[in-house]
A and B are shown apart, each in its own frame.
Chain A
Amino acid sequence: AAGVIQSPRHLIKEKRETATLKCYPIPRHDTVYWYQQGPGQDPQFLISFYEKMQSDKGSIPDRFSAQQFSDYHSELNMSSLELGDSALYFCASSLWASSWASGDNEQFFGPGTRLTVL
Chain B
Amino acid sequence: AQSVTQLDSHVSVSEGTPVLLRCNYSSSYSPSLFWYVQHPNKGLQLLLKYTSAATLVKGINGFEAEFKKSETSFHLTKPSAHMSDAAEYFCVVSGGNNAGNMLTFGGGTRLMVKP
Contacts and interface: CB of A to CB of B under 8 A. Distances in A.
Decide whether A and B are members of one complex. Answer: yes
Interface of A: 31, 33, 35, 42-45, 48, 55-56, 58, 90, 92, 94, 96, 99-100, 102-112
Interface residues of B, number: 25
Nearest to B45: A109
Contact of B49 (A90, A100, A104): A104
Interface in B46-73: 46, 49, 51-52
A106 B101 CA distance: 9
A112 B30 contact: no
Interface of B: 30, 32, 34, 36, 42-46, 49, 51-52, 90, 94, 96-97, 100-108
Given A90-B44, A107-B103, A109-B44, A43 B51 contact: no
Contacts of B106: 42
A106 B90 contact: no
A97 B61 CA distance: 29
Given A33-B103, A105-B96, A43 B44 contact: yes
Nearest to A104: B51
23 contacts: A31-B101, A33-B102, A42-B105, A43-B44, A45-B102, A48-B102, A58-B102, A90-B43, A94-B101, A96-B101, A103-B30, A103-B51, A103-B52, A105-B51, A105-B101, A105-B103, A106-B34, A106-B49, A107-B101, A108-B46, A109-B43, A111-B42, A111-B43
Nearest to B96: A103
A42 B103 contact: no
A106 B57 CA distance: 14
